[in-house]
Amino acid sequence: MGMGFTREMAIRNDPSVDNWSASGRVLHVHEDDDDILENWDADNIGGSSNRSPDFDDSVDEEFLKEMSHDEKVKSLVGMGFSEAIPRMAVTRCDGRPRSVGRCLVSQAIGPPFFYYENVALAPKGVWAEMSRFLYDIEPEYVDSKFFCACARKRGYIHNLPIEKRSPLHPLPPMTISEAFPSSKKFWPPWDTRKQFNCLQTCVASAKLTEGIRCTLANSECLCLRDQKDVLLQCRRWNLLWVGKNKVAPLEPHEMEMLLGFPKDHTRGISRTERYRSLGNSFQVDTVAYHLSVLKDMFPHGINVLSLFSGIGGAEVALHRLGIHMKTVVSVEKADANRAVLRSWWDQTQTGTLIEIADVQRRSNCSRVVPLHTKDQKAVATMLGTSRQGRRSSRPSWWCLAARSEKRQAVAAVLGAWLQGHGGRREGGQ
Helix (H), strand (E), coil (C) string for 203-262: CECHHHHHHHHHHHHCCCCCCHHHHHHHHHHHHHHCCEEEECCEEECCCHHHHHHHHCCC
Task: List every span in the chain annotated with CATH 3.40.50.
Answer: 109-171+260-361+395-422
Q: How far apart are the C-alpha atoms of 414 and 110, rounded to whole Å?
A: 14
What are the pLDDT tens digits along the chain (429 aa)? 443 434 444 443 443 334 444 333 333 333 344 554 444 333 333 333 333 333 334 334 444 444 555 665 565 555 454 555 445 555 555 666 665 567 888 888 878 899 999 889 888 788 888 888 888 999 999 999 999 999 999 999 999 999 999 999 999 999 999 999 999 999 999 999 999 999 999 999 999 999 999 999 988 788 899 999 999 999 999 999 999 999 999 999 999 999 999 999 999 999 999 999 999 999 999 999 999 999 999 999 999 988 888 999 999 999 999 999 999 989 898 999 999 999 999 999 999 999 988 765 434 433 333 333 333 333 333 333 433 344 333 333 445 555 544 556 666 666 666 666 544 443 332
Sheet holding 153-158, edge to edge: 140-143, 153-158, 113-119, 399-403, 302-307, 325-331, 352-356
DSSP one-letter code for 19: T
Assigned fold of 109-171+260-361+395-422: Rossmann fold (3.40.50)
Full-model pTM: 0.72
